[in-house]
Structure 1
Amino acid sequence: MNYIIDPPAQPSLPVTGSAQRFPIRRVFCIGRNYADHAREMGASVDAAAPMFFCKPADAVVADGADVAYPSITTDLHHEVEMVVALAAGGSNIAPEAANALIFGYGVGLDLTRRDLQAQAKAKGHPWDVAKGFDHSAPVSALRVAGEVTLDDDSVLRLSVNGELRQQTRLGEMVHGVPQIIAALSTLFELKAGDLIFTGTPAGVAALQRGDHFHAELVGVAELDANII
């Protein structure tokens, strides 16, 4: 096919143990999926109505590359999250069918321009500029689902400059992965290549230029990178 301009590069992630890469279609995120994080943000959790937002696929930072400190903010926050990658999708997916759609798991950061988010909240405006900016989604290599054993006691954590900032058990999620996939599929037709950020626990805080972060979904995926 001939295009009038060169098509953009396909965002992708490495796959642990493979030379092949995972192409990224869309990036979905769930907000307030850990009650302790909702409390620290002065919010509450509505378990009956999960809250979703999106990031552009090209916001993903792969391969442990440096993460550029974004413009128009003085309060860049880290939010460590388990990331789920889909090998298939659909609409109105039943929770019991959701796990069969998963390609693999990783760990990532939902970087947030917290000052811009606070301004948007105060005015009742959307959060897009606070969440969907360039380089706002560093993600690890993906581990194929068949190689992974996850349960309620699986640990998600983040350290910055060697100091533990965030840590939780996956069992603390308000909505589990099957429930997230099912709820998303009522709003969007999910497809292969979609990434889902599954929420962050308490402990979010500021990152500065020169910081080094280490994110880990223990036994599954790790991500190291620098803020520049």
Structure 2
Amino acid sequence: MTTLFPTPDFPTIPVKGESAGYPVMRIFCVGRNYAAHAAEMGVEVDREAPFYFTKNPLHTLASGQTIPYPPGTENYHYEMELALVIGKPVFRASKDEAAAAIYAYGCALDMTRRDLQLVARSKQRPWDLGKDVEQSAVFAELTKAEDFGEVGEQRIHLEVNGESKQSSTLNLLIHNCVDVVADLSKFYHLQPGDVIMTGTPEGVGAVVAGDRITGGIDGLAPIELTIGAAE
């Protein structure tokens, strides 16, 4: 059936060593997955199971671009994260099946209208206005899981205008990548095109127009984002 107006293609993320990109069809995000970040947000850590929110896949943005400061906020935050992507269908997965379903890893930024998120949290409302923001899911080039190796003590870090803001290690994830995939597969039929952002360490903070964000994770392509003036 034809459509009444043009529809966009799914965005893609480049993959190291591949000419074709990884299509982004769904984005799942893990909340409060580092204890120190939960503490700085004034909440307790839930170690029993991860919890999730989502972003529209059309909010995907490639590393290295400049975006306008978003509307409706005066407190726009960076969150540096490890992203993983699914390479084959998996449902109600064992840990071995979950590990085998991870196709690649990459650096990501979960950009957040923090003031709107906190208002929603205080009223026990969904976080959509704070988290599901246009151009807020930023991804660097992916590295295949077999080339990256086991997720462990790799450093994760972020800088604003060259000044260090976030610095931690991936072994401090409360719910590791395999456990997250296994848990999420209890609720969704995960499939290629699914991206999972695994959470941010402590040190989140606001950026303003003109700021340049850089970040990285040992063994992965670095990430970069510049904040432009508001539209």
Answer yes or no: same fold by TM over 0.5: yes
8 A contact 1:13–1:63 mirrored in 2: no
Matching residue of 1:62: 62
Matching residue of 1:12: 12
Distance in 2 (alpha carbons) for counterparts of 1:151 and 1:7: 37
8 A contact 2:64–2:225 mirrored in 1: yes
1:115 aligns with 2:115: yes
Matches within 5 A, 1:39-118: 39-118=39-118
Matching residue of 1:166: 166
Distance in 1 (alpha carbons) for counterparts of 2:215 and 2:150: 17
Is 96-105 or 38-47 further displaced after alignment?
96-105
Once the 2 structures are TM-superposed, how far is the Cα of residue 96 of structure 1 from its aligned partner?
2.1
Write the letter of the residue equivalent to 1:226: T
Distance in 1 (alpha carbons) for counterparts of 2:218 and 2:55: 25
Matching residue of 1:26: 26
Distance 1:184 1:21, change over 3 A: same
8 A contact 1:75–1:113 mirrored in 2: yes
Matching residue of 1:131: 131
**TM-score, normalised relative to structure 2:** 0.95
RMSD: 1.2
Matching residue of 2:149: 149
Deviations 1:26-60 (A, max 9, x none): 00000010000000000011111311000000111
Once the 2 structures are TM-superposed, how far is the Cα of residue 95 of structure 1 from its aligned partner?
1.7
Is 27-36 or 46-55 further displaced after alignment?
46-55
Distance in 1 (alpha carbons) for counterparts of 2:49 and 2:175: 10
Following TM superposition, the consecutive aligned residue runs of length 4 or more in structure 1 with deviations greater than 4 angstroms are none
Distance in 1 (alpha carbons) for counterparts of 2:89 and 2:214: 31
SS of structure 1 residue aligned to 2:13: strand
Write the letter of the residue equivalent to 1:172: L
Deviations 1:114-135 (A, max 9, x none): 1001111111111011000101
Is 83-92 or 202-211 further displaced after alignment?
83-92
Please list every run of 5 or more consecutive structure 1 residues that lacks an aligned counterpart in the other structure.
none
SS of structure 2 residue aligned to 1:213: strand
8 A contact 2:68–2:227 mirrored in 1: yes
Aligned residues: 228
Please list every run of 5 or more consecutive structure 2 residues that lacks an aligned counterpart in the other structure.
none
| Identical counterparts, % of pairs | 37
Matching residue of 1:177: 177
Deviations 1:91-121 (A, max 9, x none): 2111221121111110111111010011111
